[in-house]
Amino acid sequence: DFAPISMVGYYTFLVAVNPAVPAKSLRELFDHARANPGKLNYASGNTSSIVLTAMLNSLAGVKMLHVPYKSEPPAVVDLISGQVQVMVSSYATVASHLREGRIRALALALSQRSPLLPHVPTVVESGLPKFTITTW
């Protein structure tokens, strides 16, 4: 039998968009998705991003087309190129692309803001108080 000893840490997952998407916030992204049903694609590169995006879509009442990838790096390439418009990704995978402006972060899937991205609000701050998923 195994028993947990302590929490090591949490993953910083975030909602990112291609800069061509007009949304500057998570709320604006969902408004844009509602106004353009079926026009937005979202990428997933791991199980956490599948679950996180499904919960976001459900809570916001939007439908975006899911485009699954085997891992995050090829999904990020397509996010940057505009083949997909939205992605929930780990911070480590997209950090350099965020700094260089190739993608834009809209919200963090954390319980509080991260010192890595202090200007990016959490999903709860962005208007979805029932969002409760934390990856660890």
The whole-number pLDDT of residue 110 equals 87
Encode pLDDT of 108-118 as tens digits: 998 899 998 99
Encode pLDDT of 77-121 as tens digits: 999 999 999 999 999 999 999 999 999 999 999 889 999 899 999
The whole-number pLDDT of residue 7 equals 74
DSSP codes of every residue in 30-85 = HHHHHHSTT--EEEE-SHHHHHHHHHHHHHHT---EEEE-SSHHHHHHHHHHTSSS
The whole-number pLDDT of residue 132 equals 73
User: What strands lie across the sheet with 65-68, from one edge to the other?
Assistant: 65-68, 41-44, 86-90, 13-17, 104-108
* pLDDT exceeds 80 at position 66: yes
Chain-centroid distance of CA 128 in Å reads 14
The pTM (predicted TM-score) of the whole model is 0.89
